[in-house]
Structure 1
Amino acid sequence: MAVKKNNNQTKNIEKNITYYKKKFWKIFFYGLGAIGLFFLFASWGLLGSMPSFEDLENPDSNLATEIISSDGVVLGKYFEKNRSQLKYSDLPKNLVQALVATEDARFYEHSGVDGRGTLRAIASLGTSGGASTLTQQLAKQLFHGEGSKFLPFRIVQKVKEWIIAIRLERQYTKNEIIAMYCNVYDFGNNSVGVSSAAKTYFSKEPKDLTIDESAILVGMFKNSGLYNPVRNPEGVKNRRNVVLLQMEKQNIITEDQKVKLQSLPITLHFKLETHKDGTATYFREYLRDYLKKWAEENKKPDGSDYDVYKDGLKIYTTIDSRMQLHAEEAVAAHMANLQEEFFIQSKGNKNAPFVNISTKETQRILNQAMKSSHRWEVLKSQDKSDDEIIKSFNEKTKMTVFSWKGERDTIMTPLDSIRYYKHFLQSGLMAMEPQTGNIKAWVGGINYKYFQYDHVGQGARQVGSTFKPFVYATAIEQLNMSPCDSIIDSPFTIPVGRHHVTESWTPKNSDNRYRGMVTLKRALANSINTISAKLMDKVGPEAVVDLAHKLGIKSEIPTQPSIALGAVEITVEDMVAAYSTFANQGVYTKPQFLNRIEDKSGTVIYEPIPESHDVLNKDIAFAVIKLLEGVTEGGSGDRLRTTYGGNGDNRWTGYPYQFKNPIAGKTGTTQNQSDGWFMGMVPNLVTGVWVGCEDRSARFKSITYGQGATAALPVWAYFMKLCYADSGLKVSKEDFNRPPNLSIKVDCYSAPKVKDTTNIQQDTEEFEL
């Protein structure tokens, strides 16, 4: 009986074992099937959207558009997210090594999912890490976002990451995956991707990062919010040292290198990239407006619109970054000094910075500025009444204001801040290659953050005597005159009715002197008003206006004799283009600031066609050049060559420029010295400079500082000194090209070598209407 009972028990046990075996394998296979279905449903998108094949091929990267100089430097970007695309070959080797060693040591061994790491994470319930590979982290960044803390959702998200990671591994090489990951990570401070981060935190290109700097950025991959070197330098140092330790464990660096690098302090060159900072700010804003119009007129191959802020376009410009920096330095250096003198002269003027206008006119100017301000616009949008807004403009408040010694915190009323900013002298500078039309430098003002009006392409100002060469060129062309022909400098009146004059016009020389017989070369060199008026009378205003428009001047020019003295408002851009025609042997070339536009794949999608046309024959153009050379040899621009100087109060004792090479140029000063100009040319570079206040009533009291030779010429001189010192720019010091068989006499050997020195303090160029 006992044996029978034991047999039954054995049979029952065997039966139970068989039952549980079947049940186990049934559960096992059902589980596998469920897991398979779970993965299948996830891949089909039934558990939430999944990227398609096309999405993987072209992930939504939201790339910044880059503005690139002619010498390959990124001048700035347009972006919603400051993110630039790098190729793997652009990444520094030490950064890639540090990233793999720290984030995914078996990156080159797995196919998107690290089985060993996953099992380890499951066994430790995640306490030893989440086992996310670089590819999974890329999947999360590109298509998934932050993980959920709710376990069921987190499991779904993890499965989707695995699927996307495997697809990415099939679609891309390992190097491409690393490059993509480095391009999409948000490093904070509006810096997405290694390229932006390197520039923001270290002011470097990625290829120039040191091992220490690369380790800092790799450390930030763990949590850029926590390990931000600006806010948490100590935490960043600790995290950097962990990265260096991992690099030593992977035999990337030696132990000695690790110890040395770990002892280094965190050194940043932090500079937040914004649209209002950096190089060529005024040009970049001008370019942005152009690109908006371009995008409206040009479509993608699929018919959709280009988005300048997201499509990762490469805008290759004609701007030379070196020349641009020289131009900005020249403007800042001279304008800071000139502004100091302006403040000195404004002391004691209760109506400063305005001169010779009534209190009523001053109030009109301030009221207009108040109503045009952003503050007024904001308060109006809040349904504030005019009286309430005006009251707020008279209440003192804390603010940060611009000064040439740096931003300063102060307390003043918004209305007082308007008057304060009206004191500041502004400047515009543009440099262009006359043969190609390529714009090489563009400085639209003194500080874009505080003064956003562009005085190169946007603001037209009266040009004064810089207009006179157009009158002389017309006379040489129509009257067959030469620079060596003489004309009498004497009182002159154009009567009523002649050239549509409604009142008789009698121009005066600003020094009230008359010199008798003078050559055209001497007359232009000393900017003699009566000579310009007589030439205008001979050729007629219509002919001069016609020539000016052929030279590319777009402004409306009245057909009146007074334009001979510069009573015309023209932009710096148009003036540079017009003068360039003389340097280009009579051929006008339209200014060009764009070389080409490429999409994010490097495909050229736009190339502008250069525009040019003949205006003058070579002989006439060269004759004008010789006239303008006379200005710098013995006229209002001779301070470029001489060392004598001084303004009567011994604050300035001389001119430091002492150029020896051929220079053609012309100074210009408008009535009441509200605008100062200098147009300067060498054979392969034409540069125009304007200086003046925003309001024409804000100005120097006397011509000593307000004239073009003092206000604008030094900017040109400083700029050219820097360009000549930069041998890589190859700015010419040679003679202008002399046409063969020149038919016009240009070598006036009897002409004086220096200008009249009886009145050194001012140039005889101010016009009176």
Structure 2
Amino acid sequence: MGKHKKKRKSPWSIFFRPIKAILFVFLGIMVLGCLAGGVVFLKYQNEIMACKEKADSIMSKTVKTDFSQPTDTRIYDSAGGLIGTINSGHYEYVPISGISKNLQNAYIAQEDRRFYKHHGIDYKGLMRAGVVYIKNKGAITQGGSTITQQVIKNTYLTQEKTFQRKLTEFFAAPRMEEKYSKSDILEFYCNTNFFANRCYGVSEASRYYFDKEAKDLTVWEAATLAGISNNPSKYDPVAHPETSKKKRDQVIDNMALCKFITEEEKDNAKAQPLTVAKIYEPGTKENYLTSYAIHCAAMELMKNDGFAFQYVFHNQASYDSYKEQYQELYQAKSDMIRNGGFEIHTSLETNIQNTLQGTIDERLKGFKDLQENGKFALQGAAVCIDNQTGYVVAIVGGRGTDDEYNRGFLSRRQPGSTIKPLIDYAPAFETGYYYPSRLVNDHLFDKGPKNSGGSYYGNVSVREALNRSLNTVAWQVLGDIGVNTGIGYLGKMHFAGLSYLDNGNSSMSIGGFTEGARVVDMAKGYSVLANKGMYSNNTCIVSLQSQYDGEIYNGNQADERIFTEDTAYMITDVLKGTLEKPYGTGYGLGLGIPAAGKTGTTNSNKDTWFCGYTKHYTTAVWVGYDTPKAMPGVYGKTYSGRIWHDFMAEINNGLPVQDWDMPATVSLWNVDSRGEKTDAATGNKDLFSSVAESAARSDGSKWKEEEERKKLESQVQKDLEASQQARQSVEQAAASLQSLIGELAALSHRDSSTEEKISTAYGLLDQLAGTEFYEGLKSQLDGAADHASSLPKQEDSAGKPQEIGPGVTKPRETTAPVFPGDFDPDEDVDSGIGPGGPDSTVEAVGPGME
């Protein structure tokens, strides 16, 4: 059997055999991969498509501002001076030109060496991560993410290592590379990383750790930051300096490996000790100015959202519903501002603020009792408004500057009589049926308010009633025009302390609020009177800048007409009397320039106020305890009034002296004893508004009622005058008769005139018939007449005076008997006029007491 000869293998076949094997294995793997991929796709099709849709949605909406954190909110005064910083991490976005090339290289060497070569996805790194994923049975323990993917994760996704998150990054990364340049993406990365110790972004990290700008980082400093952001809790150089240094050195080695630095630079960088500066700039503590600015800014953001502010409520349901909506949105906006990203430019004037704070502290320095929390027990708050602009220029929320609780806009207290011009008298003047000279009967009512001091003045003008702060008159006025009408005017002036329980509450006329009034609202209300009846929507915000949206404040909000110019002028003219009239409750607080104001003191002196204004400024001042309690001897005039006086005198000093111009529709008229207009020259004049009168005439039925009232009062007045004239005639007759009785009783002889005197006396007696004088004087006259008739008759000539010398006569000496019933000729008849009579009043309400 012959042997078969083996076929000789060619060199090429030997060479290609392993290649064929590799190709077959590769194709097998590809087939298996495709099959596996198909199976995976079919199994997870919904999840995959959801991740793609999410990635598409993210990238379709992305803008550059997404890749920055909010900066600190900064607040500035009217002169541009920084008055407060709300710390949100002191974040500052830095462009790539302001970031050290060392840090850029450190990140590329450590995180993504193929950064400039791939298009968002590093497939080699992804395969490596895939192998690890399989080894760990589905648990993602390793990255493989490019810098582009990490930017997407840091900005739009969570930090969880899940398949869905990685897949979303996978779909989004190429889209981002199409939209932004490599330089942009690296800039985003440096500005979105967290570097521990509240350091967001490379700018704050550079300042905190090395006290320098990001553009000045050295190799070892850049490597340190790159290491920290890889795992902030693990590589924090403050908490873990050793592990941080090891990570730093690893980054430096990678930088050398990638040829970003030389071996010599590597060794030099690793030789540097890891030292950190820990430069931390805390935010400023909120003060009265910044807290109010944040409040007003939040309100402006609410306006931008179209929130409908409401001040008057018809029932509890509307009240509760509104409060819930308001509080939720207000808190969200307030938090947004405190979280950073805003510049707030205000109208607040630091010099005026310091003057107001100093005045309050000085006037109240004698009250040293403290609360349990260490704050002064007796507190004060005040708000000042520039009448030319309507902006708040100063707001003091308490004594000293360490108290963060701003009573100027947070606290609500009973306003007492300071509310009267705003809720009672100005609305009443608007009707046309009330005016400064109108008389209202001041008397004690059953279940009505009492006047402070217990004095009542009968018919008194509105002008005097407001100056004296008579509670019963204010109560009648509001009751006449309608409580809800008055409350409606407060709502127009944006009073934030109104409750549905105040509806129909007549005690509102004298400041009896359910919740109370804020100091800032009282100041805004009085500024309406100072500004011709116009309410300014300005608060303290002059400009509100958003880091992302630019200017977001609408500074062109129109003023609102609350009262007519006539009403504002007349109320102002009346309120001048509070400071100028001896019986005014603020007498002695005048500034020597045109000014108007009103005191306010609540029951037991628990809250004391003074609100007043000049042409230039309006200021409202409150003094009281945080937990209301009686303050004997403290009144609206005393501490609140003196604070107002001292402060206003200071800030008005040197300004032009200006008075309010009387509108053409307001005129001075003579007024009669009823306070009504008259053509007669009575010597007593007061203000009347033709605009208000026209408004009154427009309501035909009301006008007719008012005319009937005037006619009735006129007739009553005529009857009273006639009665007074009759009374005066009786008193004159009684006085004349008393004189004749005295003459008859004093006679020592009778002559031809005696009978005439007796006849005249009895004629006067007839005039007194039916009066209280008749019986007493008749008895006296009968006695005197009998006495005179029984005297011896003497010729008239014998009765001539005896001459003593040229031009000098000697009077006759007579003695007159005293008759029973005679009274002392020096004693006045009790006419009811004089001490103790109805026109006699004792001013029990002293200046400052109401």
TM-score, normalisation: structure 1: 0.53
Q: Cα–Cα, structure 1 residues 572 and 162, in superposed 2: closer, same or farther, change >3 Å?
A: same
Q: CA RMSD in A?
A: 7.3
Residue 54 (str. 1) matches residue 66 (str. 2): no
Render the CA deviation track for 1:476-495: whole Å, top value 9, x for unaligned. 7758867xx999xxxx9933
SS of 1:460 mapped into structure 2: coil
* Structure-1 residue corresponding to 2:453: 508
Q: Cα–Cα, structure 1 residues 466 and 166, in superposed 2: closer, same or farther, change >3 Å?
A: same
Q: Cα–Cα, structure 1 residues 235 and 70, in superposed 2: closer, same or farther, change >3 Å?
A: same
* Structure-1 residue corresponding to 2:826: none
* Structure-1 residue corresponding to 2:17: 19
SS of 1:690 mapped into structure 2: strand
Paired residues for 1:579-618 under 5 Å = 579-589=526-536, 602=549, 613-618=560-565
Deviation at 1:267, TM superposition (A): 1.9
CA contact (8 A) 1:113 1:132 kept: no
Deviation at 1:766, TM superposition (A): 3.7
Deviation at 1:606, TM superposition (A): 11
* Structure-2 residue corresponding to 1:139: 152
* Structure-2 residue corresponding to 1:301: none
CA distance in 1, matches of 2:241, 2:27: 53
Q: Cα–Cα, structure 1 residues 182 and 312, in superposed 2: closer, same or farther, change >3 Å?
A: farther
Q: Cα–Cα, structure 1 residues 695 and 177, in superposed 2: closer, same or farther, change >3 Å?
A: same
Paired residues for 1:444-593 under 5 Å = 455=407, 459-470=411-422, 473=426, 494-497=442-445, 501-502=446-447, 505-508=450-453, 530=468, 532=470, 536=474, 541-543=479-481, 546-547=485-486, 549-551=488-490, 552=493, 554=498, 566-568=511-513, 569-589=516-536
Q: Cα–Cα, structure 1 residues 21 and 158, in superposed 2: closer, same or farther, change >3 Å?
A: farther
* Structure-2 residue corresponding to 1:302: none
* Structure-1 residue corresponding to 2:180: 172
* Structure-1 residue corresponding to 2:627: 695
* Structure-2 residue corresponding to 1:266: 278
Render the CA deviation track for 1:219-270: whole Å, top value 9, x for unaligned. 7534433565875799999999999999xx899xx9xxx9999998332113
CA contact (8 A) 2:595 2:614 kept: yes
CA contact (8 A) 1:319 1:441 kept: no
SS of 1:268 mapped into structure 2: coil
Render the CA deviation track for 1:145-189: whole Å, top value 9, x for unaligned. 4475xxxx89x9878756543332113345653565466444556
CA contact (8 A) 1:577 1:590 kept: no
CA distance in 2, matches of 1:693, 1:716: 21
Deviation at 1:27, TM superposition (A): 3.8
Q: Cα–Cα, structure 1 residues 28 and 620, in superposed 2: closer, same or farther, change >3 Å?
A: same
**Alignment equivalent of 1:103, drawn from 107, 110, 122:** 107
Deviation at 1:138, TM superposition (A): 0.9
CA distance in 2, matches of 1:337, 1:241: 62
2:281 partner letter: H
Paired residues for 1:48-447 under 5 Å = 49-50=51-52, 51-58=54-61, 93-95=97-99, 99-104=103-108, 109-113=116-120, 133-142=146-155, 145-146=158-159, 161=169, 164-174=172-182, 177-178=185-186, 180-181=188-189, 184-186=192-194, 220-226=228-234, 265-271=277-283, 279-280=291-292, 283=295, 287=299, 294=307, 308=332, 320-321=345-346, 323=348, 341-342=366-367, 344-345=368-369, 402-403=373-374, 424-425=377-378
Q: Cα–Cα, structure 1 residues 62 and 23, in superposed 2: closer, same or farther, change >3 Å?
A: same
CA distance in 1, matches of 2:620, 2:349: 14
Q: Kindly, what percent of the aligned residue pairs are identical?
A: 20
CA contact (8 A) 2:489 2:562 kept: yes
Q: Cα–Cα, structure 1 residues 702 and 160, in superposed 2: closer, same or farther, change >3 Å?
A: same
Number of aligned pairs? 599
CA contact (8 A) 1:282 1:443 kept: no
Residue 738 (str. 1) matches residue 746 (str. 2): no
CA distance in 2, matches of 1:182, 1:633: 69
Give the unaligned 5+ runs of structure 1.
Answer: 298-304, 347-352, 354-400, 405-422, 643-659, 726-730, 747-761
CA distance in 2, matches of 1:318, 1:466: 36
CA contact (8 A) 2:636 2:849 kept: no
Render the CA deviation track for 1:382-433: whole Å, top value 9, x for unaligned. xxxxxxxxxxxxxxxxxxx8545xxxxxxxxxxxxxxxxxx74566555666
* Structure-1 residue corresponding to 2:611: 679
CA distance in 2, matches of 1:283, 1:632: 34
CA contact (8 A) 1:434 1:684 kept: yes
Render the CA deviation track for 1:309-342: whole Å, top value 9, x for unaligned. 8998999999744629889878887777788754
SS of 2:624 mapped into structure 1: strand
CA contact (8 A) 1:427 1:691 kept: yes
SS of 1:502 mapped into structure 2: coil
1:585 partner letter: K
1:502 partner letter: K
Q: Cα–Cα, structure 1 residues 179 and 540, in superposed 2: closer, same or farther, change >3 Å?
A: same
Render the CA deviation track for 1:287-315: whole Å, top value 9, x for unaligned. 59969994999xxxxxxx99958998999
Deviation at 1:18, TM superposition (A): 1.7
Deviation at 1:578, TM superposition (A): 1.8
CA distance in 2, matches of 1:594, 1:567: 32
Render the CA deviation track for 1:561-589: whole Å, top value 9, x for unaligned. 98676455433343233212113211235
* Structure-1 residue corresponding to 2:741: none
Deviation at 1:53, TM superposition (A): 0.7
CA distance in 2, matches of 1:507, 1:576: 25
CA contact (8 A) 2:383 2:396 kept: yes
CA contact (8 A) 1:668 1:677 kept: yes
CA distance in 2, matches of 1:317, 1:603: 9
CA distance in 1, matches of 2:55, 2:334: 20
CA distance in 2, matches of 1:200, 1:714: 49
Q: Cα–Cα, structure 1 residues 238 and 170, in superposed 2: closer, same or farther, change >3 Å?
A: same
CA contact (8 A) 1:191 1:200 kept: no
CA distance in 2, matches of 1:665, 1:209: 58
Render the CA deviation track for 1:74-124: whole Å, top value 9, x for unaligned. 98999xxx79998x7x758534767534423889944555979969x99xx
Q: Cα–Cα, structure 1 residues 602 and 461, in superposed 2: closer, same or farther, change >3 Å?
A: same
CA distance in 2, matches of 1:463, 1:32: 85
1:574 partner letter: D
1:104 partner letter: I
TM-score, normalisation: structure 2: 0.49
CA contact (8 A) 1:580 1:686 kept: yes
CA contact (8 A) 1:661 1:734 kept: yes
Of structures 1 and 2, the one with the larger relative CO (CA 8 A, separation 6+) is 1
Q: Cα–Cα, structure 1 residues 309 and 519, in superposed 2: closer, same or farther, change >3 Å?
A: closer
1:265 partner letter: A
Deviation at 1:56, TM superposition (A): 2.3
CA distance in 2, matches of 1:107, 1:337: 70
Render the CA deviation track for 1:126-156: whole Å, top value 9, x for unaligned. xxx98865323213324564475xxxx89x9
**Alignment equivalent of 2:848, drawn from 762, 765, 769:** 765
* Structure-2 residue corresponding to 1:709: 640
1:460 partner letter: R
Q: Cα–Cα, structure 1 residues 473 and 199, in superposed 2: closer, same or farther, change >3 Å?
A: farther
Deviation at 1:54, TM superposition (A): 0.8
CA distance in 1, matches of 2:206, 2:643: 34
CA contact (8 A) 1:472 1:532 kept: no
Q: Cα–Cα, structure 1 residues 108 and 463, in superposed 2: closer, same or farther, change >3 Å?
A: same
CA distance in 1, matches of 2:382, 2:512: 21
Give the unaligned 5+ runs of structure 2.
Answer: 133-141, 309-320, 323-328, 670-844
